[in-house]
Amino acid sequence: MLRFGPPEEVPALTTHSASPADSALDDKGLAEVRRVVSADLMVGIPSFGNAATIGYVVRAATAGMVQYFPDLKPVLVNSDGGSPDDTPHVAVSTESPDYIEKIILVAPRHKLRRISVTYRGQSGKGTAVHALFEIARELKVQAMVMVDSDLRSIVPEWVELLAGPILKGGYDFVAPLYARYKYDGTITNSISYPLTRALYGARIRQPIGGDFAVSGDLIGRLLELDTWDDSTARFGIDIWMTHSAINEGFAVCQARLGAKIHDAKDPASDLGPMFRQVVGTLFRLAGHYEDRWLAVRGSHPIPEYGFERVVAPEEISVNLGKLVDGFENARPTHRETWAEMLAPEQLERVMQIDCSDAAAFRFAAELWIRCLYDTLIAFNRPGAEREKLLSALTPLYFARTAGFIVETADMTTDQAERVIDAVAHEFEQLKPYLVSGWRSMRDATA
């Protein structure tokens, strides 16, 4: 499982938005960057304790920059959270660029530089990425590719697929388009994808995929925004980048990367804090950009770059019983909060769901959509206890995930993908329910 800093207690969400007061780079890191002077293309890799996997990622990224962009000045930067292992050393010492040039038979015009910096400030992936943005701005790069440090499926072509649309096609933000197992990416499948599509009309399939590319212009704008908070500094960073790029008017596309093989997470065991950080950031930005999404009807496809691959993604295990138990055990604990955030008819339906047989468990997509829309509205009420609302939403997410697992148990990944797409379309159809409730909330608090 990817982590980006030492374990610590996750604080309550802030109720306001603020950019980091200080740079995520200390003087030592900034001096290291300035020795590079400038670069055209940068690959950034945030990390914490990834010595076992980052070497392969560095080799693939290095080869990609040399092979596909031999005329550009390249740099690879590791933004580390103070790893207790040798992650930074591995990042800068794994197989020299000269060796890479020999095995791919390309002679680049510029020497590839590799550096590792330890970011400062709040521990989390978002802070690591903020440091990478600062470095990219300092070096005046045309494009920055960001990839996770636990990838086992990255190949050199990923650099071209992610950076190419920016360097050759005039795009500013490139999101990944993966083939993933039907139960990998449950937050994406049930929340971030359908809400991105319903709110902003953009069918970005993997808005929190972890592997992106951004233009120098977009980096400059992201560093100016005042919508940063504690969740953005952690796992809220990916949805923050995606929704900021959409709403700030930048050109967005997707890159077909094939299968993503990484250290996948069981939604019943591993995703609680990540869920709250991603969803909290998404909900908060919906409040910030309400004038944009209230006017959106329907959705449109997002351009896709690269060859469509037929691949079989790696299966992951999920604990259905634990998901159902997590929902059932939460009902007495969260009933009072559910009564505050859900419409009465949705609360009644939630409380009546039968949990006696996990294999026959049902949580209808339509009920989930209404619960999610109700919580989005409640989250943006003045004075809302946002952390409490997100904690109460978590077992409902467990329930919807369990319902999806049961519904798609006998389906292939491709068949399950069609269910995900149909549910995303239902999010669009039920958007008037959200708009009506949102406007009523705003009228009541005016």
- Residue type at position 105: L
The token pair that represents 409 in the structure block: 């148990």
Look at residue 100 and tell me whether its pLDDT is greater than 70: no
In order, the DSSP letters of 195-256 are HHHHHH-EE-S-TT-S-EEEEHHHHHHHTT-S---TTTTTTTHHHHHHHHHHHTT--EEEEE
Helix ranges (DSSP H) in 290-355: 290-293, 320-341, 344-351
Please tell me the least confidently modeled range out of 104-113, 242-251, 287-296, 337-346.
104-113
- Residue 267 confidence class, pLDDT cut points 50, 70, 90: low
CA 97 to chain centre: 30
Report how far residue 142's alpha carbon sits from residue 119's, in angstroms, rounded to the nearest whole number. 22
Cβ atoms of 176 and 162 closer than 8 Å: yes
Please tell me the least confidently modeled range out of 100-109, 400-409, 414-423.
100-109
| φ/ψ (deg, to 5) at 174 | -120, 115
Please tell me the least confidently modeled range out of 105-119, 334-348, 410-424.
105-119
Report how far residue 391's alpha carbon sits from residue 118's, in angstroms, rounded to the nearest whole number. 32
Cβ atoms of 46 and 146 closer than 8 Å: yes
CATH superfamily of domain region 27-305:
Spore Coat Polysaccharide Biosynthesis Protein SpsA; Chain A (3.90.550.10)
Tell me what the mean pLDDT of segment 307-315 comes to.
Answer: 83
- Residue 299 confidence class, pLDDT cut points 50, 70, 90: very high
Tell me what the mean pLDDT of segment 390-419 comes to.
Answer: 97
- Residue 96 confidence class, pLDDT cut points 50, 70, 90: low
CA 251 to chain centre: 18
- Break the chain into its structural domains and give their ranges: 27-305, 320-444
Report how far residue 2's alpha carbon sits from residue 150's, in angstroms, rounded to the nearest whole number. 7
pLDDT tens track for 151-192? 888 999 999 999 999 999 999 999 999 999 999 999 999 999
- Greatest pairwise CA separation for the chain in angstroms: 67
What is the reported pTM? 0.92
Per-residue pLDDT, 13:
38
Per-residue pLDDT, 11:
37
Per-residue pLDDT, 420:
98
Per-residue pLDDT, 306:
95
Which DSSP state fits 106? -
Q: Compare 272 and 130 and report the one with higher pLDDT.
A: 130
- Residue 263 confidence class, pLDDT cut points 50, 70, 90: low
Per-residue pLDDT, 265:
61
Look at residue 102 and tell me whether its pLDDT is greater than 90: no
Per the prediction, the chain carries an average pLDDT of 92
Instruction: State the first-to-last Cα distance of the chain, in angstroms, to the nearest integer.
Output: 44
Per-residue pLDDT, 402:
98
- Residue 147 confidence class, pLDDT cut points 50, 70, 90: very high
Per-residue pLDDT, 329:
97
- Residue 55 confidence class, pLDDT cut points 50, 70, 90: very high
Report how far residue 178's alpha carbon sits from residue 309's, in angstroms, rounded to the nearest whole number. 10
The token pair that represents 354 in the structure block: 């039968």
The token pair that represents 365 in the structure block: 């997509």
| φ/ψ (deg, to 5) at 47 | -155, 160
Percentage of the chain surpassing pLDDT 70? 91
- Residue 15 confidence class, pLDDT cut points 50, 70, 90: very low
CB neighbour burial string for 278-315, b if at least 16 within 10 angstroms, e if fewer: bbbbbbbbbbbbeebbeebeebeebeebbeeeebebbe
Beta-strand relationship, 143-146 and 74-80: unpaired
Look at residue 330 and tell me whether its pLDDT is greater than 70: yes
Tell me what the mean pLDDT of segment 109-119 comes to.
Answer: 94
Which DSSP state fits 192? I
Beta bridge partners of 117: 79
pLDDT tens track for 249-260? 999 999 999 988
